[in-house]
Amino acid sequence: MDFLLTEEQLMLKDMVAKFAKERIAPEASENERNHRFPAEIIKEAGELGLMGIAYPSEYGGSGMDFVSYFLAIEEISRYCASTGVIISAHSSLVCDPIFRFGTEEQKQRYLPDLLSGNKIGSFSLTEAGAGSDAGATKTTAVLDGDEWILNGSKLFATNGKEADVFILIASTDSSKKTRGLTAFIVDKETPGYKIGKVEKKLGIKSSSTAEIILENVRIPKTQMLGDLNSGFKVSMVTLDGGRLGIASQALGIAKACIEDSIKYSKERFQFDQPISNNQAIQWMLADMWVEYEAARLLVYRASIMKDRKMVYSKEAAAAKLKASEVAMDCARKAIQIFGGYGYTEDFNVERYYRDAKITEIYEGTSEIQRLVIARTLLAD
Ligand code: CAA
């Protein structure tokens, strides 16, 4: 399949794979178990240009394409899915909307620090009563002279604990539901802006997932991102790209399951022979590989469509739906191949299993991806 990739994309993929294997892999499990944010690794990723792969050099980006960026997320997630989502949420959910919808002043002010990794970004859409129904946002933004006053609370913000810059969606006209939401850029230090509960989770524990509390947060009028009442569309367009980041993260987890299972099945002897001699194991490996390759094609196709600036919402939803379900299935099979050892912390497959689950949930559950796909099919 790599015949579809250009020489430049393959070089980037190899460089990231080397960085991930040598630098990220050795501390991935320990960081994850200890809920430790890999600050030093993120700094080094920034120095390598990995925090702003797909953005122009004039703003401090690496000037490559989105295919390259999604390849990088897969290679990183192969060894650490937490690091994968830290970079994906930062790039897809924060750098991307600022680049696409920001004013020139906003781009000049925020992108150089974000694209170099000097600052971390976080995206706040979800609320207690607004998960899949993202339009049900209750956080409010009220204009007072030259300032917006924000009040409310947000949930499940990836990077919430460490981020410096937040994209936040608030209601500016509650009578209009999805057509009455607006996006804002909020700096961490703004008075009234607080990090609330940091979630304790099943997996991806190196990445923080936090509550954001807003109490009379005053921000200049110029911090509005995009047009007034366009926040839902800003979010949906942003999430189309974010879903490909998560699909790529899921591909990385699936690849880890396959590679580790192949190695283990050749080393593990039972009944005087490697378990890889058993057809039951061979069929699991074959099915894992076929499903991973099928998911990879969907991710590549949607990524190419994004690079070509085509409408790719359905294709992104399909890629995330497939890749996340493949990651979960590969993780389940990997633990089965490892047997009792797979259930222990002595091997990485238990981490892959815990990490895989969230890919079926965040940035739109599998049910929401099916809804997006079906609505598009029926509208065509
Ligand atoms: N691109 C552009 N516009 C879009 C769009 C897209 N992908 N999807 C919808 N829109 C537009 C529609 O065309 C419509 O426009 P008009 O107002 O002009 O008619 C408008 O947005 C409203 O669309 P819908 O009527 O389809 O809205 P809905 O209320 O039925 O919701 C939904 C649609 C697909 C269910 C949406 O709410 C959704 O995606 N929900 C899931 C939310 C989600 O993914 N949350 C994850 C949060 S981020 C996260 O996980 C945290 C993290 O940090 C990782």
- What values do phi and psi take at 147, rounded to 5? -130, 150
CATH annotation of 122-229: 2.40.110.10
Query: Which pLDDT value is given to residue 4?
Result: 81
Q: Ligand 1 centroid vs 309 CA: distance in angstroms?
A: 19
Q: What is the DSSP string of 188-202?
A: TTSTTEEEEEEPP-S
Tell how many helices (H) and how many strands (E) occur in the chain.
Answer: 12, 10
Long-range contacts of 145-148 (CB under 8 A, 24+ apart): 146/220, 146/221, 147/218, 147/219, 147/220, 147/221, 148/184, 148/218, 148/219, 148/220, 148/221, 148/223, 148/224
Query: Which pLDDT value is given to residue 203?
Result: 98
Query: Which pLDDT value is given to residue 380?
Result: 73
Which residue of 236, 237, 355 sits with most ligand 1 atoms within 8 Å of its CB, as the best mutation to test the pocket? Answer: 236
Q: Which residue has the higher pLDDT, 279 or 2?
A: 279
Annotated domain spans of the chain: 2-120, 122-229, 232-379
Cβ atoms of 163 and 89 closer than 8 Å: no
Residue 376 has pLDDT above 70, yes or no: yes
Secondary structure (3-state) at 95:
helix
Residue type, 158: T
Q: How confident is the model at residue 285 (pLDDT cuts 50, 70, 90)?
A: very high
Cβ atoms of 16 and 22 closer than 8 Å: no
CA 154 to chain centre: 18
Say if ligand 1 is within 6 A of residue 363 CB: yes
Query: Which pLDDT value is given to residue 3?
Result: 76
363 tagged catalytic: yes
Which residues have C-beta within 8 Å of that of residue 205, sequence separation ≥ 6?
A: 32, 33, 34, 35, 82
What is the rounded distance in angstroms from the CA atom of residue 84 to the CA atom of residue 189? 26
The 10s digit of each residue's pLDDT in 329-358 is: 999 999 999 999 999 999 999 999 999 999
Q: Ligand 1 centroid vs 239 CA: distance in angstroms?
A: 8
Residue 1 has pLDDT above 60, yes or no: no
Distances (CA, A) of 175 to 138, 158, 165, 234: 11, 29, 29, 19
**pTM score:** 0.97
Q: Ligand 1 centroid vs 129 CA: distance in angstroms?
A: 15
Secondary structure (3-state) at 22:
helix
Can you tell me the mean pLDDT for 39-44? 98
Q: How confident is the model at residue 62 (pLDDT cuts 50, 70, 90)?
A: very high
The 10s digit of each residue's pLDDT in 94-126 is: 999 999 999 999 999 999 999 999 999 999 999
Distances (CA, A) of 10 to 15, 74, 100, 295: 9, 13, 26, 19
Can you tell me the mean pLDDT for 229-248? 98
Both tokens assigned to 197 = 């509960």
Which residue of 168, 182, 233 sits with most ligand 1 atoms within 8 Å of its CB, as the best mutation to test the pocket? Answer: 233
Percent of the chain residues topping a pLDDT of 70:
99
Rounded to the nearest 10°, the torsion over CA 29, 30, 36, 40 is -90
Residue type, 320: K
Which CATH superfamily is 232-379 part of? Butyryl-CoA Dehydrogenase, subunit A, domain 3 (1.20.140.10)
Residue 368 has pLDDT above 90, yes or no: yes
Pick the CATH number of 2-120 from 3.90.550.10, 1.10.540.10, 3.40.50.11540, 2.60.40.10: 1.10.540.10
Task: Indicate the average pLDDT of the chain.
Answer: 97
Task: Find residue 274's DSSP bridge partners.
Answer: 269
What is the rounded distance in angstroms from the CA atom of residue 66 to the CA atom of residue 144? 39
Distances (CA, A) of 282 to 260, 274, 278, 285: 14, 11, 6, 5
